[in-house]
Structure 1
Amino acid sequence: MNILIITDSYPPEIRSASHLMQELAEGLNEKGFNVFVATTYPEYNLSKNQRGINYPEFTEEKNIKALRIKTLPHHNVNFIIRGISQLTMPYIFSLKIKKYITHVDFIIVYSPPLTLANLGASLKQFYKAKFILNVQDIFPQNAIDLGILKNRLLIKFFQYMEKQAYKGADVIFVHSENNERFLRNKHPYISKKLIVLHNWINTREFESFERKNYFRKLYGLENKFIILFAGVMGPSQGLDFVIELAERIQDIDDLVFLFVGDGMERKKLEEVARKKNLKNIIFKSFVSKEDYPLLVKDCDVGLVCLADKNKTPVVPGKILGYMGAGIPVLAFLNKESDGHLIIKKAGCGYSCLYGNYNEAENLIRKLYDKKQTLGEIGKKGLQYVKKNFDRDICIEKLINYFK
């Protein structure tokens, strides 16, 4: 059976979405499926040793056929250019997919961008295939909430596109119960298509690594208490909140916030930290997916942040990465996020509402004071993620819809 995964982000690009889709592709391949991945050409969120490499357009990697397609710029650009890129992406993808892939039984599309969901509906007709839509960020609602999308005509256009994408899908997966409720209430006509499929993680990738303090030595942080934020630094994350918190807790001499990644907001955040003369914030470039488990295990706490402008129940993928590595999670999230519930159920750390400076500061100090017992908190997260979000468990649930 041939499975086509369509996503705008895939390794070597380093994002939660990239890792999620690679784990899906590898998991399906291990189950005996013939897997194709159509994605954009690697240009963003790369580690230093992955920049400047020429990648073939169509190649095979670990039995997975990867099609990497050059498109217009779609990250770290203004929203007009990004919008044009996303609108043209389905047409460019369609031509390349039809050129290289002759037969498909099931199409799985990761959204955002929403435009690729419409591509899924189109290819469904072309290949006479079933179309499964994996909705992560609910667009255009999230862009409206963040103030990115304001033009009424554009809002109506994207809402129409959203409706068509949902209509075209045979099954729509969302990653939490409240995301399912949100879409069911907003779009009652798709109620029967909606299924909760929690995001997954391959915990074996983390268990094969021991803490070696490699990154502590590399970054000169051997004797520091490290709170790690690893990922994209964009408007949705609202990391200026963390900068303010770092300023408040400068009295803890050996505590540092380690920001590893890139994004639209990184330069601004670095400038703010520089102007405030904050010595407890360090910025570093992305590390490769292969090195990511080592990085996380070298740190004491994993940080997640979502600005309160977000009004959808999104669960940041970083939470599972920290849990899989067995370190405690510290989360500052919008009130709607199901991340609060996951952290509470797992007992793997603490969360509070984004913008609550006093509570957030108290949680940081609480974790610092508990540094001798952080391993026990981290183990709870690892046990919970193995039971509920392990890759193979989630993929078995997905395979049921291939029948």
Structure 2
Amino acid sequence: MRIALIADTFPPLRTSGAVQLRDLSREFVRQGHELTVLLPAAELQSPWSLEHVDGVRVLRLRAPRTKDIGYLRRTVGEFLMPFAMLRNLRRSPLAHERWDGVAWYAPTIFLGPIARALKRASGCRGYLVIRDIFPEWAADMGLMGRGLPYRFFKAVARYQYSVADVIGVQTPGNAAYFDDWVRGPGRRLEVLQNWLAEAPVGGCSIAVADTPLAGRKLFVYAGNMGVAQGMGILLELAQQLQSRRDVGFLFVGRGSEARRLAADAQARGLDNVLFRDEIHPDEIPGLYAQCHVGLVALDPRHKTHNIPGKFLTYMQSGLPVLANINPGNDLAALIREEGVGRVSTDQSVQSLRQMALELVDSLDADPGMPMRCKALFARLFSPQTAVRQIVAALQAPGRAPAGAVTQDTARAPLQAGQDGAAASTQTPKRVRLLDSAH
């Protein structure tokens, strides 16, 4: 198929979304599809820039800046972004290209106009990959009320949904947000698992052996440190375990809370905690090879089911997880049923402390845990499965039964992953997930 993939993040950015889309685009090519990625680029001096990366055509289109600026400017920039992309697409060598299918990635919620234009010009179907249900999570977190700004963002999100023929959500728990949408004619809602390509263990600019944490059992957090993560409790945990000289905590990444958290750790005198800046995604396997447990944190005010992309990277590297997440999140049952770590939803640092100590003990007592982590990753989170599922949805018009995701629909990722044709006869314990932008 000739497929257009629209997004607002892609390498050289180092976000989890950029890495995901890089892996997905490579897999489209590996499976024999012709893929073109369309991206906004504020830094361009010309209307467009076309390059070829790993067999993928990458068309960058000049658009307003939307990253690392204030909320008001970002909102205006994102609103104008799809229209600027369309204008500059029409100036590019691909102005008259036609596609067999259009896929696009949320976040952001603002890509509806360009996705609609490409669909209409080509007479093809569209697949919306949703990793972040905005503005719902922001309202749940108290970052915005449910007044005029919320209603504006909600209208934009609904328009984007209306453009899609198929929507792939992270988890069955998010299906309720689309009860009205899925009743529309020809619409299909399904669970699209998160994905991550296999990555070799290479070098890493962080050498734990050269730090004060050398020789300790390391709990590692690598990724965004923002309000949505609710990471304060992890510093409380580190303080609770400061007397354990065999345990350390390593935080790697960036985000709105990174500096505050590092300053807080210093103010508490936590000599068992180390903060380091963001590293290249290719260094992550080398980092995890030096660590023992992966940390996951989500603010308890979340009501949507957000499964961070870092969870996949931990599983891929065979790291069991210690998670502190919102009650009811599908991730909790997955961790417990698959035996890949410990998870707390009661927001008690004492509970988290007990689980951390259990994990430290189990590192030696349960040598099969790393293999369970890797097996879970291989079974559920490959880009091969994701590409087959998206392609199948774009090729086959039709609709699922009205209402929420059905059991068969929820199994779709595994069915598509068999040989691209035959459905699996095995029902896994759980088949749901992904990363949000959190």
Q: TM-score, normalised by structure 2?
A: 0.82
Q: 1:304 aligns with which of 296, 300, 308?
A: 296
CA deviation vs aligned residue, 1:313-342 (integer Å, no higher than 9, x gap): 121111111101111111111113211122
Aligned pair count reads: 387
What does residue 6 of structure 1 align with?
6
* Larger deviation, residues 26-35 vs 162-171: 162-171
What does residue 34 of structure 1 align with?
34
CA deviation vs aligned residue, 1:108-145 (integer Å, no higher than 9, x gap): 11111101244322332233332110111111111111
CA distance in 2, matches of 1:218, 1:63: 39
What does residue 22 of structure 1 align with?
22
CA distance in 2, matches of 1:284, 1:34: 39
Structure 1 or 2: more helix by fraction: 1
For structure 2, list consecutive stretches of 5 or more residues without a partner in the other structure.
396-438
Whether 1:111 and 2:106 are equivalent positions in the alignment is yes
CA distance in 1, matches of 2:10, 2:203: 26
Distance 1:39 1:173, change over 3 A: same
CA distance in 2, matches of 1:212, 1:79: 34
Larger of the two Rg values belongs to structure: 2
Q: 1:135 aligns with which of 122, 130, 152?
A: 130
Distance 1:121 1:213, change over 3 A: closer
Distance 1:265 1:129, change over 3 A: same
Q: Percent identity?
A: 25
CA deviation vs aligned residue, 1:30-53 (integer Å, no higher than 9, x gap): 01111111234499xxxxxxxxxx
What does residue 410 of structure 2 align with?
none
* Larger deviation, residues 392-401 vs 231-240: 392-401
Distance 1:42 1:389, change over 3 A: farther
CA distance in 2, matches of 1:84, 1:219: 44
Shift of 1:220: 5.5
SS at match of 2:368: helix
Q: Which has the higher contact order (CA 8 A, sep 6+)?
A: 2
Kindly report structure 1 stretches of 4+ aligned residues shifted beyond 6 Å.
210-214
What does residue 53 of structure 1 align with?
none
State the Cα RMSD in Å.
2.4
Shift of 1:371: 2.8
Whether 1:184 and 2:187 are equivalent positions in the alignment is no
CA distance in 2, matches of 1:374, 1:121: 52
Alignment of 1:190-229 (within 5 A): 192-202=187-197, 204-205=198-199, 208-209=200-201, 215-217=207-209, 219=211, 221-229=213-221
Q: TM-score, normalised by structure 1?
A: 0.89
CA distance in 1, matches of 2:202, 2:134: 39
* Larger deviation, residues 212-221 vs 366-375: 212-221
Letter in 2 for 1:113: T
CA deviation vs aligned residue, 1:216-247 (integer Å, no higher than 9, x gap): 23556431211111111111111112112211
* Alpha-carbon contact 1:25-1:64 (below 8 Å) kept: yes
Distance 1:148 1:386, change over 3 A: same
Distance 1:91 1:391, change over 3 A: same
CA distance in 1, matches of 2:204, 2:142: 43
Whether 1:245 and 2:237 are equivalent positions in the alignment is yes
